[in-house]
Amino acid sequence: MGETVAVESSTGEFIAWAAFSPISQISGRVWSWEQNVPMSSELLKDRIKESIDAREQLRNSGITNAFRLINGESDGLPGLIVDQYADVLVVQILSAGAEYWKNEIIKILVEISGKSMIYERSDVEVRKLEGLEPRVGILSGTEIPDQIEILENGIKYLVGIKEGQKTGFYLDQRANRLMVRDYAKDKEVLDCFSFSGGFTLNALMGGAKKVTSIDSSGNALKMIGRNLEINIFDSSIVELIEEDVFSQLRTFRDSRRSFDLIILDPPKFAPTKKQVERATRGYKDINLLAFKLLNPGGVLFTFSCSGGMDTTLFQKVVAGAALDAKVEATILNRMGQDVDHPVSLSFPEGTYLKGLTCRIK
């Protein structure tokens, strides 16, 4: 499983070298399109180096010390995700091919990144589709702290790399979090699906009058509490609500609460195309409620990270929600995943995060 095989056309012409996944629906993941460049440690090393080099601008910008170093297929390394949090790397191995080369990958990562602490977070559902067991634990180094402090655009965050969501933080939303600051001054803000407070803290940094943050995970809200503390933000203007967003928005509607700025950053409702229809109803519902809760002139930052829903459909859903909420809205910005989550032109499926900033009249 995961061995390199030559993919050939029906007439026997060479197409690519690929990693073989006998169990997955995607039975081959391409390592190389060139017959004279088969899969090897050298190729792996070149690709890893190229990925890390491609983040040079972000790394040297002073914006952050946390970023995605390797973004799977789009970096020519299918099934491999590597995120850096200060001095620690967190790795996710998602395909049989990446699993096959795992030891080599770790060796090369230590050598090229100069980081010796590497933690594995291969505890994701998609591994099942490849016939791989979940796995977490130290891959390199002896002791790795449970929580790592990072700095992004002047805000500190504690990132729990060993448990919880993703590899600990939503790095893909970096630029969008920053943009929220510009719209927050003196505003009453509602951050839905707040997790550890990325948008909440940026709204505060932007001078929000008050921020209400909702997440169904008590742990996530505790993390916001700690992040408020380490940044010395005034926690008296932050209200944390542990609740299901769908029902909390209804509670707000019934009690006639309103906001100037609302952020909707839900989890994936539609990981694949099959779930799109059900997911569409979910997106429509929260966007409709959010439009209703906005004060005149209010702004909505709304996102979908569902790979199964494309940009056009997402915009249609948001438009339908505005129509049903009886508000007139315009699009101010279109947003996507940040620069360390590139999308290869030959792998458009790598586009998953899309967002709209809408302003109502």
The site for ligand SAH (CB under 6 A) is made up of: 165, 170, 173, 177, 193-196, 198-199, 214-217, 220, 244-246, 265, 267
For the chain, the C-alpha Rg in angstroms (whole number) is: 21
DSSP for residue 242: E
Nearest distance in Å: CB 268, ligand SAH: 9
Cα(243)–Cα(227) distance, rounded to whole angstroms? 20
Contact 167, 90 (CB under 8 A): yes
Cα(240)–Cα(211) distance, rounded to whole angstroms? 9
* CB-nearer residue toward ligand SAH: 177 or 181: 177
Closest CA to 94 of 134, 38, 52, 39: 134
Using Cβ positions, the residue closest to ligand SAH within the complex turns out to be: 198
Nearest distance in Å: CB 196, ligand SAH: 6
Nearest distance in Å: CB 284, ligand SAH: 15
Catalytic residue among 305, 329, 353, 358: 305
Joined together, the tokens standing for residue 253 give: 């509607």
Cα(8)–Cα(182) distance, rounded to whole angstroms? 53
Distances (CA, A) of 275 to 40, 271, 281, 305, 309: 37, 7, 11, 13, 9
* CB-nearer residue toward ligand SAH: 75 or 265: 265
* CB-nearer residue toward ligand SAH: 17 or 252: 252
Nearest distance in Å: CB 335, ligand SAH: 12
Cβ count near 15 (within 10 Å)? 13
Identify whether 192 is a catalytic site residue: no
Contacts (Cβ under 8 Å, ≥6 apart) of 133: 127
* CB-nearer residue toward ligand SAH: 42 or 244: 244
Please give the positions annotated as active site.
305
